[in-house]
Structure 1
Amino acid sequence: MTKQSIDDQASFSAPIEDLQVRIAFLDDLVEQLNEQVVHQSLEIADLKKQMQLLYQQVESADLSDGIAPFDPMTNRPPHY
């Protein structure tokens, strides 16, 4: 091999190595983001279940016993 071909080969291998490093970094980043999405998806599903339980509790609660009806004439705020 001539010196010219060795220099050409070295000049081509450097950008290829840079691309390989970038691809490895991006693969790692994609994997981290995927794990984060899975974690958030599980958390959202858990929060939805909690909200459904709260809605069921509110709907099944009998609120009429503990709350007196509001009468605007007798229940005036103190600043009137």
Structure 2
Amino acid sequence: MTKQQNLNDLASLSAPIEDLQVRIAFLDDLVDQLNDQVAHQALELADLKKQMQLLYQRVESSDLSDGIATFDPVADRPPHY
């Protein structure tokens, strides 16, 4: 083989390897971005859970029977029945 053929063979082998290296670099960046997003959403979810717990505590501690009349399904039938 000549020196030119060896260089052509190396070039033909290195091009796919370079393409794979570029793809891996982009995939690494994408994985980092997705990891940051998941971490952000986990914090947001924890905050929302805390807010829901506070709302449940407020509802349980308040006496809602003062402003709400009792409902009797037999006596309070809608007009179309």
TM-score, normalised to structure 1's length? 0.87
Deviation of the 1:74 alpha carbon: 3.2
| Residue aligning to 1:77 | 78
CA distance in structure 1 between the aligned counterparts of 2:45 and 2:74, rounded to whole angstroms: 45
1:23-62 deviations in whole A, cap 9, x for unaligned? Answer: 1110111011111101111111111011101110111011
Structure 2 gap segments, 5+ residues each:
none
Number of the residue aligned with 1:54: 55
Give the Cα–Cα distance (whole angstroms) in 2 for the partners of residues 73 and 6 of structure 1.
93
1:8 CA drift (Å):
1.3
CA RMSD of aligned residues (A): 1.5
Question: Identity across aligned pairs (percent)?
Answer: 76
TM-score by length of 2: 0.86
Unaligned runs of at least 5 residues, structure 1:
none
